[in-house]
Amino acid sequence: MRKVDGPMKVVIEAQASPCPLLEQVTGTRWIAVKFFKHLPADWECVHREPLRFCEAVCQARKGHIDLLPETIRCEGAKRAFRWAKGKEEGLVLHLSEKTGVNAARARELVEQVPVLADSYAGIRVGDCTGPDVLVTYVRPEAAMRLVRLWETATGHSLHADISSIMAVCGNAVVKAHVSQSISISFGCPDSRQHGGIQPEEMVIAVPATVLKCFDGIENGGLVPPSK
């Protein structure tokens, strides 16, 4: 966390835990993601070298990272954020060559990855006020506890589509934002290599709007409240 003097320091420290209940349930640090249609006054794109979105999620534990189209090096993430319009064929070719899947099948897989409905000027990953999505890496047992929380709050099972491409950007964060539901991903080769996902971990993203469903649930719905 960067040192900031004055009242702003209190604000940043308060945002270190965007949702204490989620952290209680999963036992992990949740990373906030916020999409900006217009760049805020405190915007500071400190990363001059391009990096993958999953790398930004991993590094944001040390302080927020501001991203622009030119600071994202992954074409899959650019597509998911509507920053690579008209470049789908290059992404399809890359996926086909990398996985051995034929081009037609690769195109189908790419087209299934969610894309933001609106265009945004920038993305902040890490400490911020009013995040759109929260994302973390968890072990399966922690994921089970989060699903139990969802079931307790909604009375419904969680339905999830799983993909092995664009796993943190498109099939976790963007999918959660577009669907306004919890999204689950097992990661992809790039995010596991560069994004800090451990072999025993999976990715979960939660849209901020869902947090209202959890209000008033003690202990994440896992332990009956004491009388």
Q: pLDDT averaged over the chain? A: 84
Assign 160 a pLDDT band (cuts: 50, 70, 90): confident
Q: What is the pLDDT of residue 194?
A: 92
How far apart are the C-alpha atoms of 116 and 178, rounded to whole Å? 7
Average pLDDT over residues 72-86: 89
Average pLDDT over residues 166-179: 95
Where do the domains of the chain lie? Answer: 7-221
The residue ranking higher by pLDDT, 195 or 5, is 195
139 and 200 in contact (C-beta within 8 Å)? yes
Strand segments (E) across the chain: 31-36, 65-67, 122-125, 133-138, 183-185, 202-207
How far apart are the C-alpha atoms of 53 and 196, rounded to whole Å? 11
Of 113, 117, 106, 124, nearest to 53 by C-alpha is 124
Assign 26 a pLDDT band (cuts: 50, 70, 90): very high
For residues 59, 120, 166 and 205, what is the CA-based torsion angle, rounded to 10 degrees?
70
Q: What is the pLDDT of residue 163?
A: 87
Amino acid present at 23: E
Q: What is the pLDDT of residue 4?
A: 34
pLDDT single digits (tens) 114-157: 999 999 999 999 988 899 999 999 999 999 999 999 999 999 99
pLDDT over threshold 70, residue 7: no
Helix 88-99, helix 103-112: angle, nearest 10: 120
pLDDT over threshold 60, residue 217: yes
136 and 17 in contact (C-beta within 8 Å)? no
Counted residue by residue, the chain has a size of 227
Assign 165 a pLDDT band (cuts: 50, 70, 90): confident
pLDDT over threshold 90, residue 218: no
Q: What is the pLDDT of residue 46?
A: 59
Report the percentage of the chain scoring pLDDT > 90. Answer: 56
Q: What is the pLDDT of residue 6?
A: 32
Place of tokens 């072999």: 199
Question: SS3 for 61?
Answer: helix
Average pLDDT over residues 38-50: 78
Lowest mean pLDDT among 36-45, 82-91, 187-196: 82-91
